Amino acid sequence: MGVGGEKFQLGTVGALSLSVVSSVSIVICNKALMSSLGFNFATTLTSWHLLVTFCSLHVALWMKFFEHKPFDSRTVMGFGVLNGISIGLLNLSLGFNSVGFYQMTKLAIIPCTVILETLFFRKKFSRSIQMSLSVLLLGVGVATVTDLQLNAVGSVLSLLAIITTCIAQIMTNTIQKKFKVSSTQLLYQSCPYQSLTLFLVGPFLDGFLTNQNVFAFDYTSQVVFFIVLSCLISVSVNFSTFLVIGKTSPVTYQVLGHLKTCLVLTFGYVLLHDPFSWRNILGILIAVVGMVLYSYFCTVETQQKSIEVSQQQVKETESSPLISDSLSKVENGGGDADDEPLKVPMWSSKYSRT
């Protein structure tokens, strides 16, 4: 592992911690904004989040905190629009379905991501990982799913939301590795397309779901304060999302998302005195066990892969000098007469017969 491995682990832990803290903070802030102040325009608010994030990154670029690295514009545009559509579909799913069915929709993202990565990227998930994910999903389901009221439109919207979210998160990981761009560089280039998509669709979507006009809302000083606070926290949320997916995987990010759900439920009960039951407590405990198992098995498998890579490198290093020494003896006419003749590889054109 060495120093590089330790830095990678510290970076991953830092990204995960930043994602958890910022996401829980913005949920509490948005809950106060929507529940207490009546600002229920989620899609429009998200477009403002992304716009503020882009402006913040533009300032950071101007101050040379990171380097702009342009790449395939079509890929960036498609990725940004797809992200915006997935957010809109998730909001529509919540609007057309019960809270319980919406939670089931979010739970289905993990198995869907696993299936897509297995089919299209040949990625293998061990039985230990599959078992830990099952425990996690069971716990979150027990803690959050209360009722399941099905309807045709809501079911179709949920299915589309699941598919687009999975593809968008897999693309986040794939693009960063394929084009060798950092999470900051990818977020900076895709933010305008995400923001524009939601800014155009948001007011109509929110108006359809709430029967209110976002531009006719009474923006008091308290409402403006919480909107600004939510937008500032969103910079950290968006950055940490890309950072976590880039450093780990889409599945790990979804596991982290369910950890945030459990934390939000806990904070809601402790700080906001939301109604809580033994079923919520049991579900959270089961989910935590699943998360611990998932983290443990991922760590073990990562260490095993690192050991295998190190052993392979050692073998290659040990074998190379032997071949070089033998070839140098032949070239210089060295070696004893009783030595075994050198078996030159067939692909070596320098020693092939004419």
State how far Cα 264 lies from the chain centre. 19
Note the pLDDT of residue 171: 92
pLDDT digits (tens, 9 = 90+) for 123-151: 888 888 889 888 888 887 887 776 666 67
Note the pLDDT of residue 276: 65
pLDDT digits (tens, 9 = 90+) for 43-56: 999 999 999 999 99
| The token pair that represents 240 in the structure block | 């940490």
The conformation of residue 214, written as its DSSP 8-state character, comes to G
CA distance 137 to 286: 9
CA distance 39 to 223: 8
| The token pair that represents 130 in the structure block | 């599959």
- The Cβ-side half-sphere exposure at 320, using a 13 Å CA radius, reads 6
pLDDT digits (tens, 9 = 90+) for 220-252: 999 999 999 999 998 988 888 777 777 767 777
Confidence (pTM): 0.71
Report whether 166 contacts 250 (CB < 8 A): yes
The vertex-10 CA angle with 6 and 11, nearest 5°, equals: 115
- The Cβ-side half-sphere exposure at 162, using a 13 Å CA radius, reads 22
The full DSSP string for 251-271 is HHHHHHHHHHHHHHHHHHHHH
- For residues 106, 107, 112, 114, the Cα torsion angle rounded to the nearest 10 degrees is 120
* Inter-CA distances, 230 with 42, 131, 238, Å: 11, 36, 12
- C-alpha closest to that of 258 among 282, 229, 288, 237: 288
